Amino acid sequence: MTLFQNALRALRQPRPAYAELARLDDRSLEDIGFNRADIETKFG
């Protein structure tokens, strides 16, 4: 799977998802409807 697909899968899972999402760049995060602050708030 690609990094992007892994991140989408991670969105459906609890806490370990942060590691997958954190590896994405800001533009990829925006493509799936997140930004860095959202991730830190939700998982941090």
Dump pLDDT digits (tens) for 17-35: 677 777 888 888 888 888 8
pLDDT band at 13 (very low <50, low <70, confident <90, very high): low
Q: Tokens at residue 28, please?
A: 């990829």
Q: Which residues contact 14 (CB under 8 A, 6 or more apart)?
A: none
Higher pLDDT, 28 or 39: 28
User: Would you put residue 38 in left (φ > 0), alpha (ψ -120 to 50) or beta?
Assistant: alpha
User: What's 34's DSSP letter?
Assistant: -
pLDDT of residue 16: 60
Q: What is the pTM of this model?
A: 0.44
**Is residue 36 within 8 Å of 26, Cβ to Cβ?**
yes
